[in-house]
A and B are shown apart, each in its own frame.
Chain A
């Protein structure tokens, strides 16, 4: 595997379900990100982890819970979601130093549908 991988690629869940999204990066990076991509809206940064420590939480509802067990893996735990949470969830990684922080490598995303 190369680059940034995400599983599952597609997920349909009910509002009362609990599920998790997984991201793995094979680039030796030490910063990882979760973004939400909705139609006709800018990519929204949700969470940032630098060296496994959460450094950013952009006012994301508590029904989204991130976990970063090591610098290569990132999870997004989901529970009691709302239909408006349906979107493409993108994981990205980068080096956590200077301008390299801005050179982010994205995975293909998980298309989430909340019914």
Chain B
């Protein structure tokens, strides 16, 4: 059973556009929701994270929106740049362990 469902699997966005990646979870015991960014040949790197008592968190061009009642959260990348091309993973955390989504491969076209 997949505990964290992520969509879309891949995404192509024009430079300057908005990239949106969605995740959904079932277990209401999750208490922390990070997003990781992974470039080819590198390990994932923490990008931004949110707690379930907050509905939105913004860091630069990256924003997490969190809907506790719907058990959904999403990553928005504003003014997307070719350098943002990477694979993005959402995750949900409980008891010290991270449960990851399958990832979204983002390509930003110049």
Question: What residues make up the interface of A, taking CB atoms closer than 8 Å to B?
Answer: 4, 31, 40-43, 45, 48, 50, 55-56, 90, 92, 96, 99, 101-109
Contacts and interface: CB of A to CB of B under 8 A. Distances in A.
B86 interface: no
Interface string B78-102: 0000000000010001001111111
A7 B103 CA distance: 25
Contact of A107 (B34, B43, B49): B43
A106 B44 contact: yes
B12 interface: no
Given A40-B102, A41-B102, A102-B49, 12 more contacts: A42-B2, A42-B89, A42-B99, A42-B100, A45-B97, A102-B32, A102-B93, A102-B98, A103-B46, A103-B49, A105-B45, A106-B44
Contact of B98 (A4, A40, A45): A45
Contacts of A92: 43
Contacts of B96: 31, 48, 50, 55, 96, 101-102
Given A42-B2, A42-B102, A108 B89 contact: no
B61 interface: no
Contacts of B34: 102-103
Contacts of A105: 45-46
B45 A106 contact: yes
B32 A108 contact: no
22 contacts: A40-B102, A42-B2, A42-B101, A45-B97, A45-B99, A48-B97, A55-B96, A56-B97, A92-B43, A96-B96, A99-B32, A101-B96, A102-B32, A102-B34, A102-B49, A103-B46, A104-B46, A105-B45, A106-B36, A106-B45, A108-B42, A108-B43
